[in-house]
Amino acid sequence: MRGELRLFERARGGDWTAVAGPFPVLFGKNGIAWGTGLAGQNEPGLRKKERDGRAPAGVFEIGQVFGYEARLPPGGDYRYHQVTEADVWSDDPRSPNYNRHIVIDPKNPPDNYTHEKMRSGDFAYHWLIEIRHNSDPPVPGAGSAIFFHIRRGVNRPTTGCTTMAQENLVKLITWLRAKRHPCYALLAANEYDKKWRSWNLPPPDAFGRSAPASLPR
């Protein structure tokens, strides 16, 4: 699936201001399904599951940034961890570390190490930004390892992550600041129109769409 990512900011109690974007993004090859985060987990309908090829919909905290480099790109100022051969993100629902970042001994690796290791020389994982779906605490089988990362091609969707061109991912990384409490909202357009007010999201007209008229009650 395709979408557009836009960055917005607001002071407490203030109006939303667009600061960057739109950036073309790709996500779940099989669409989206409700995830578990700040909002979305109580919605009726299809739920995100492990290996379903769907991206989690809802609102999520943005977690740590991971990468191959010793430090963030110039201008970056956010929680960062340089990954090595010892860094693993478990996607095995049977594991007590499911959907968690762990550091292991590469000389005595656990099961699924090859599949789960975070540094494999893959250009798409050069930078990763954690999308905190199913994190507090992780529910086995509800989906794991959801990140922003570099796209593998302009027409190649993902199995659940959100991907974009490298230069746009770097812009996102350098925009992040912990004091802003950054979050990610992923919604289909029709769901966004229903929920933006109650979820305190930017109004549709902030990115060139008209909000649907309210019917009298």
pLDDT in tens, 156-195: 999 999 999 999 999 999 999 999 999 999 999 999 999 9
Strand residue runs (E) in the chain: 2-9, 17-26, 32-34, 55-67, 80-82, 87-89, 101-103, 127-131, 147-150, 162-164, 183-186
Instruction: Map residue 217 onto helix, strand or coil.
Output: coil
| Mean pLDDT of all residues in 44-63 | 98
| Mean pLDDT of all residues in 125-144 | 98
Q: For the chain, what is the mean pLDDT?
A: 93
Q: Would the pLDDT of 115 be above 70?
A: yes
Would you list the domain boundaries of the chain?
A: 2-11+18-204
Q: Would the pLDDT of 201 be above 70?
A: yes
44 or 107: whose pLDDT is higher?
Answer: 44
pLDDT band of 126, cuts 50, 70, 90: very high
CB atoms under 10 Å from CB of 75, counted, come to 10
Instruction: Decide: 126 and 150 in contact? Cβ < 8 Å.
Output: yes
What pLDDT does 106 receive? 85
- Residue 189 belongs to what H/E stretch? helix 189-195
pLDDT band of 110, cuts 50, 70, 90: confident
pLDDT in tens, 135-164: 999 999 999 999 999 999 999 999 999 999
Residues forming beta bridges with residue 32, ordered by sequence position: 55
| Mean pLDDT of all residues in 197-209 | 90
| Mean pLDDT of all residues in 95-121 | 88
**CA–CA distance, 109 with 167 (Å, rounded to integer):** 34
In percent, how much of the chain has pLDDT > 90? 86
**CA–CA distance, 199 with 195 (Å, rounded to integer):** 6
What pLDDT does 114 receive? 74
Q: Would the pLDDT of 212 be above 60?
A: no
Contacts 24+ apart (CB under 8 A), 95-104: 98/138, 98/140, 98/144, 99/134, 99/135, 99/138, 99/143, 99/144, 99/145, 100/138, 101/64, 101/66, 101/130
Instruction: Map residue 102 onto helix, strand or coil.
Output: strand
Residues forming beta bridges with residue 82, ordered by sequence position: 67
pLDDT band of 111, cuts 50, 70, 90: confident
**Terminal CA-CA length for the chain:** 36
Instruction: Decide: 158 and 1 in contact? Cβ < 8 Å.
Output: no
Q: Would the pLDDT of 22 be above 60?
A: yes
The CA radius of gyration of the chain, in Å to the nearest whole number, is 18
Q: How far is CA 191 from CA 40, 101, 150, 185, 196, in A?
A: 11, 31, 26, 11, 8
pLDDT band of 210, cuts 50, 70, 90: low
The residue count of the chain comes to: 217
